[in-house]
């Protein structure tokens, strides 16, 4: 088994998930961490038994004793921090979104291809068994030609403190401020539901119309240094490559829904319903003679490897690097078009 040495860039909340997941994979060693905050970096190293710590990307590259990087920095830092590692020939798993605009995402994709390294973006809902099984059913022709879909990503953390108090904790406040690198709900979770829908459908989006809304959440729209101007809700109309139409919604104001994704996909010979609610996925289908009576049945879905396992497998030559940076860039082009559409009051634009 090929040993793989992993460096973790950024030690915020999500970094713990990365550290625990990689540490559980046989043959993988967490060898270093990077953070400009020395106290937080030291605590992270101690918690995860990581021997080396660096204050900058340049220091880590000069050291060089690692094979792969998992980039868990805030969205706005992905571009600048990933490129040096690619130039150094290191494999990279980057948190989503790949970048904050399509130009940067495409440059990252080109750099990764030139470097010839494994490159993946953490679209974490690819780990959902129902998503993967539904996608395979579509590829196998189970529901025929797709004509319509409905997709939503519903969160409620702006109306209930299930994950903490958004109005006093920096790990939430930065997500509400464009000054701090946030693209709002569209960039944060909209990217997931767009991938969810188009990956299962097996087609890219060709046109999008989008409306975005930012709601008043504090006096003067600001809490401390955080100007709360990022979008809180997004609705989209999307046309797929074969002409199929669908609606996509994402919001942080879905009271009663902690973190729920839904997709209903309708083809000429059947329908699928994929849900991920309370961290459990379900797949239902209406196929064959059942379409005459509108009868739906549960479909068993086998477990699937995580993004972390797939990243290591790709480095070892044991599986594809999917989703890769090219997929991340394609989604970013779609997100950029959605923002441009919203700036023009929902004008339908080509992706």
Q: Is the pLDDT of residue 74 over 90?
A: no
The string of pLDDT tens digits covering residues 3-54 is 999 999 999 889 999 999 999 999 999 999 999 999 999 999 999 999 999 9
The string of pLDDT tens digits covering residues 295-322 is 999 999 999 999 999 999 999 999 999 9
Q: What is the pLDDT of residue 1?
A: 86
Mean pLDDT of 260-270: 98
Q: What is the pLDDT of residue 239?
A: 98
Do both 215 and 274 map to the same domain? yes
With cut-offs at 50, 70 and 90, classify the pLDDT of residue 272. very high
Q: Is the pLDDT of residue 59 over 90?
A: yes
Q: What is the pLDDT of residue 181?
A: 80
What domain range includes position 238?
Answer: 129-303
Do both 49 and 166 map to the same domain? no
The string of pLDDT tens digits covering residues 169-195 is 888 898 999 998 888 999 889 999 999
Last residue of a domain, one of 81, 106, 124: 124
Q: What is the 3-state secondary structure (H, E, C) of the chain?
A: CCCEEEEEECCCHHHHHHHHHHHCCCCEEEEEEECCCHHHHHHHHHHHCCCEEECCHHHHHHHCCCCEEEECCCHHHHHHHHHHHHHCCCEEEEECCCCCCHHHHHHHHHHHHHHCCCEEEECHHHHCHHHHHHHHHHHCCCCCCEEEEEEEEEECCCCCCECECCCCCHHHHHHHCHHHCCCHHHHHHHHHHHHHHHHHHCCCEEEEEEEEECCCCCHHHEECCEECCCCCEEEEEEEECCCCEEEEEEECCCCCCCEEEEEEEEECCEEEEEEEECCEEEEEEEEHHHHHCCCCEECCCCCCCCHHHHHHHHHCCCCCCCCCHHHHHHHHHHHHHHHHHHHCCCCCEEC
Last residue of a domain, one of 90, 124, 158: 124
The string of pLDDT tens digits covering residues 116-142 is 999 999 999 999 999 999 999 999 999
The CATH number of residue 120's host domain is 3.40.50.720
Q: What is the pLDDT of residue 25?
A: 98
Is 341 contained in some domain? no
Q: What is the pTM of this model?
A: 0.93
Do both 94 and 212 map to the same domain? no
Q: What is the pLDDT of residue 304?
A: 96
Is 346 contained in some domain? no
Do both 113 and 211 map to the same domain? no
Do both 184 and 220 map to the same domain? yes
Domain count within the chain: 2
Last residue of a domain, one of 109, 124, 139: 124
Do both 267 and 193 map to the same domain? yes
φ/ψ of residue 111, rounded to 5: -65, -40
Do both 159 and 17 map to the same domain? no
pLDDT averaged over every residue in the chain:
96
Do both 106 and 165 map to the same domain? no
Do both 182 and 99 map to the same domain? no
Is 163 contained in some domain? yes
Is 319 contained in some domain? no
Q: What's the Cα-to-Cα distance from 104 to each of 97, 109, 314, 349, rounded to whole Å?
A: 11, 9, 24, 21
Q: What is the pLDDT of residue 281?
A: 96
Is 194 contained in some domain? yes
Do both 256 and 180 map to the same domain? yes
Do both 33 and 160 map to the same domain? no
The CATH number of residue 217's host domain is 3.30.360.10
């Amino acid at each position: 088994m090929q040993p793989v040495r992993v460096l973790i860039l950024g030690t915020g909340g999500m970094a713990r998930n990365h550290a625990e997941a990689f540490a559980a994979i046989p043959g993988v060693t967490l060898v270093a961490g990077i953070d400009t905050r020395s106290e937080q970096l030291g605590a992270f190293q101690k918690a995860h038994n990581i021997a080396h710590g660096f204050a900058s990307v340049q220091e880590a590259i000069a050291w060089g004793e690692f094979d792969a990087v998992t980039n868990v920095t805030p969205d706005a830092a992905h571009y600048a921090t990933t490129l040096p590692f690619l130039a150094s020939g290191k494999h990279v798993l980057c948190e989503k979104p790949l970048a904050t605009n399509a130009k940067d995402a495409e440059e990252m994709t080109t750099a990764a291809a030139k470097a010839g390294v494994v490159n993946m973006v953490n679209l974490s809902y690819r780990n959902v068994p129902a998503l993967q099984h539904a996608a395979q059913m579509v590829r196998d022709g189970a529901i025929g030609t797709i004509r319509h879909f409905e997709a939503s990503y519903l969160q409620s953390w702006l109306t209930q403190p299930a994950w903490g108090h958004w109005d006093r904790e920096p790990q939430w406040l930065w997500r509400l401020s464009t000054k701090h690198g946030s693209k709002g709900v569209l960039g944060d979770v909209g990217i997931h539901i767009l991938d969810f829908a188009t990956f299962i459908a097996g087609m890219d989006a060709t046109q999008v119309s989008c409306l975005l809304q930012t709601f008043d959440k504090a006096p003067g729209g600001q809490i401390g240094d955080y100007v709360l101007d990022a979008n809180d809700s997004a609705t989209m109309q999307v046309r797929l490559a074969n002409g199929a139409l669908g609606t996509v919604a994402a919001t942080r104001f879905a009271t009663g829904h902690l973190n729920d994704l839904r997709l209903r996909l309708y083809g000429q010979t059947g329908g699928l319903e994929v849900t991920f609610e309370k961290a459990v996925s379900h797949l239902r289908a209406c196929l064959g003679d059942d379409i005459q009576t509108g009868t739906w049945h549960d479909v068993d879905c086998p477990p699937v490897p995580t993004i972390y396992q797939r990243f290591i497998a790709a480095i070892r030559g044991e599986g594809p690097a999917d989703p890769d940076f090219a997929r991340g860039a394609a989604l970013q082009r779609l997100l950029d078009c959605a923002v441009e559409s919203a700036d023009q009051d929902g004008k339908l634009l080509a992706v």
